[in-house]
Amino acid sequence: MHAKSTPRQTIKKILPLILATAIFMQMLDSTILNTSLPSIAKDLEESPLNMQNAIISYVLTLALFMPVSGFLADRFGTRKVFVFSLIIFSLGSIFCAISQNLTQLVIARVIQGVGGSLMTPVGKLALIKTFDRNELLKAMNFAIVPALIGPVLGPLVGGYIVDCLSWHWIFLINIPFGILGIVLGLKFMPNYNSKSTDFDLKGFLIFAAASLLLSISLELFGESKNITPVLIVFILGFLFLYYYYRHAKKGENPIFPLSLFQVRTFRVGIVGNLATRLGISSIPLLLPLMIQVAYHQTAVVSGWIVAPMALTAMFGKSSVIKILNKFGYKRTLMVNTIVIGILICCLAIPNIHSSIYWFVPIIAVMGFFNSIQFTSMNTISIADLRNFQTSSGNSLLSVNQQLAVGFGIAFGLIVLKIYENNTELIHHEVHQAFRFTFLTVGILTILSSLVFRRLHIYDGKNMKSQD
């Protein structure tokens, strides 16, 4: 079933553009806040270190609601759900812009996250159903280009908007893109739906509760002086995970089947994603924060210093297949993780009197290796899944990535706060707290390379790598 009476060829031309708009908005929004947090914190009379909730709430909402996207698209149709998601995302953006305090901003970011969690997966689903297999890669590559451009533009656009206008425009910039997506979606998006709409609602709610409780325990750990409530929430989170395990064991059609974890490469990929992203995810937030808070530079300067990370990631994408073909997944992932950990430690070398441009080559090289890391982890995770497992495996991988980003940001800021409160160690110099944080996060990233020892030397040999 196609949108109104629009010719199929026209739909094929416009559909990748519609998905590209959605991906661009989501990627821009994931990164644009990193350089703007100190400015928003000042306006809302908050400490920049307490502003992580504005980022984490968005990332977690993406993770929690992504599994529902396929079910809703099957039940109500791809066009209806896609346009609805853009409306929700745009409304969330307006609410963010008019927020008067941190609580209002966090609630608005959750609304944005609900829209963001639906629009990209549903747009991809429409693309997969419209294009033949031999046309799909070309269409998908066109749509994914904004995913590479978004992280480059995010910190820069955020920096310029904050310095030249005000932080409110960071969110209002989404509105014209949202309107364009809605108009194109109504006219050209096919409204595919499916009669068999079986969805494990109970499993979804249990899994969502577990993810939420574990995230809240991290938040409380960063803010609370009393460890008891943190432990209670943390234990509750693990009890819900156990409850999900029991449910999935008995369930007819669980949202994430336990059989996925019997596949060794999937298991290693999921754990590796979570472990290595703990360190990697905090850097795009910690570095701009340090440049503005410790070095007293503008948001634009911090944006320019972080931008090379996304540019070199594009080169990493083009080199990864050659690297994997030569060295294999096990060696590539183990060495690559160690290299990233060492590079994170290198961020601690420049002192407060060094030029801030010392960070540019470090961050540029890190972007290249990050790209190799993410592509390798994503492809080895699904390398040995059977056809009937691919959909749920891919969905769990996406959820796991978003949760890892949220946990990583929270973890990085918790470590920073611990060092900042230790005045004997840092001698009231906030820059020293950042340096110790980079060393801690870097060493933990190096240790996370041990996860990939579980891979066999021939794993992934039959697979042509793709992101």
Token representation of residue 85 = 């998601």
- Element of type H or E holding 421: helix 387-421
Rounded to whole angstroms, the Cα distance separating 414 from 441 reads 11
328: left (phi over 0), alpha (psi -120 to 50) or beta: left
pLDDT tier at 224 (50, 70, 90 boundaries)? low
In order, the DSSP letters of 182-209 are: HHHHHHH------S-----HHHHHHHHH
The 3-class SS string of 153-174 reads: HHHHHHHHHHHHCCCCHHHHCH
Cβ contact 396:344 at 8 Å? no
Q: Is the pLDDT confidence value at 213 over 60?
A: yes
Spell out the residues 6+ positions from residue 450 whose beta carbon is closer than 8 angstroms to its own. none
- DSSP secondary structure code for residue 35 in this structure: T
Contacts 24+ apart (CB under 8 A), 2-7: 2/190, 2/191, 3/79, 3/186, 3/187, 3/188, 3/189, 3/190, 3/191, 4/187, 6/187, 6/188
pLDDT tier at 1 (50, 70, 90 boundaries)? very low
- CA 162, 163, 165, 166 dihedral sign is positive
Rounded to whole angstroms, the Cα distance separating 176 from 90 reads 9
- Give the pLDDT mean for 84-97: 92
Number of H helices, E strands in the chain: 19, 0
Tell me the per-residue pLDDT of 407-455, one tens digit each, with 9 for 90 and over: 888 888 888 888 887 777 777 778 888 989 999 999 999 999 999 988 8
E-strand ranges in 176-311 read: none
The pLDDT score that the predictor gives to residue 196 is 61
Residue with token string 């026209």: 10
- Give the pLDDT mean for 99-118: 89
Q: Give the global pTM.
A: 0.79
CA-based nearest residue to 242, from 218, 220, 214 = 214
Residue length, the chain? 467
CA distances from 201 to 62, 65, 197, 292, 351 (A): 17, 12, 11, 44, 52
Rounded to whole angstroms, the Cα distance separating 401 from 274 reads 7
The pLDDT score that the predictor gives to residue 467 is 40
Topology of the domain comprising 1-197: Growth Hormone; Chain: A; (1.20.1250)
Widest pairwise Cα distance in the chain: 71
The pLDDT score that the predictor gives to residue 392 is 74
- Domain 257-467 class, CATH top level: mainly alpha
CA-based nearest residue to 120, from 192, 198, 25 = 25
CA distances from 173 to 65, 166, 170, 186, 319 (A): 24, 12, 6, 21, 34
48 phi, psi to nearest 5 deg: -55, -30
Cβ contact 93:58 at 8 Å? no
The pLDDT score that the predictor gives to residue 140 is 65
Classified as helix, coil or strand, 378 is: helix
- Give the pLDDT mean for 264-290: 87
- DSSP secondary structure code for residue 277 in this structure: H
- CA 303, 309, 314, 315 dihedral sign is positive
Looking at 18-22, 73-77, 220-224, 246-250, which range is the least confident one? Answer: 220-224
